[in-house]
Amino acid sequence: MSNLKKILLNKNPCKSIWFMRQAGRYLPEFQNIRSKNKDFIKLCLNSELSSEITLQPIKRFDLDSAIIFSDILMVPYALGQNVKFTKGLGPKLSDFNLKEFLKNKENNFSNKLSPIYKAIDITRRKLVKDKSLISFIGAPWTLIVYMLNIKEKKEEINLQKLDNSKELIDQIIATLINFLCIHIKNQINAGADVVQIFDSWAGLVPDENLNDFCFTPNEKILHFCKQQKIPAICFPKGIKEKYEDFNKIVKPDGINLDSEIDPVWAKKNLKNVVIQGGLNPNILLKEDEDIIEGATKYIQTFQGTPYVFNLGHGLLPETDPDKVSKLINFYRNFDG
């Protein structure tokens, strides 16, 4: 059993470190592959290259866990929406068609994503046993933000569009939960041993919809994971003090802090859960002393409790890999 899986299941303090978006854009070895593979979706579906990218940060840093190189939008892609990534603009999905969406079949969905499962199998065979291989999904709400194109600016959604679509969203959520659970099980069967659930746009949910759009869908997915004995980490980014309600209702094995959450508050208020992350990824763009100071705050706050060192969001593209290496060494050698 991998160390991360042990921590999540047993809630025992143990040193463990990995980073969201550790496989990808900030590494020159990834940039070399990406320059020759312009279509991002095709790259995610190239099993050999996906596995190679997944293992790049393990080879460079010897991190404790690998996370499969893929994307949360592979699920809408497998459910019939075209997904296009444009540099500087991010992902753009084709118009959503409910009638076509509801026609999706489980076998066709799994077949379209089979290269991801093959990549997991290849990677698991190359990883040493004590290293976790993390699979992941986007939570229903976060996928819907992209599927219905309701995000207007960086941190805003079209509320009028949302108000007019409540019944539609409920229907989409129910269907997504089914396919997301299939995707989780397929990834675990292929060799992953932990799943992280990214609700990256949870902070955009209006308060009156938080239960229906965020808490309940995540809870249903967690219920499935517990039935299947799959350790799960949730990341309800941006919900601030509602992290406490989320933790009580959803009951994840692990919960990833975003950078807005005070670690002292988290230690006091988030109970019966392994806490992960929190350190602002922007700090890795600063001087070494700032990085050390920021990391020390989290390490000392959670010393003696089940805590996985990570960030409050993914590694930024402009991050210097040498800074990442220094942070890893500092964490592993910390004694104070």
CATH of residue 290's domain is: 3.20.20.210
What's the domain range around 107? 3-333
Number of domains in the chain: 1
In tens, the pLDDT along 136-195 reads 999 999 999 999 988 776 667 776 776 667 788 899 999 999 999 999 999 999 999 999
Q: Extract the tokens encoding 175.
A: 């269907």
Please list the pLDDT of the chain residue by residue as tens digits (336 residues): 888 999 999 998 889 999 999 999 999 999 999 999 999 999 999 999 999 999 999 999 999 999 999 999 999 999 999 999 877 777 999 999 999 999 999 999 999 999 999 999 999 999 998 999 999 999 999 999 999 988 776 667 776 776 667 788 899 999 999 999 999 999 999 999 999 999 999 999 999 999 999 999 999 999 999 999 999 999 999 999 999 999 999 999 999 999 999 999 999 999 999 999 999 999 999 999 999 999 999 999 999 999 999 999 999 999 999 999 999 999 999 986
Between helix 140-147 and helix 166-190 the angle, nearest 10°, is 120
List 83's β-bridge partners, or say none: 93
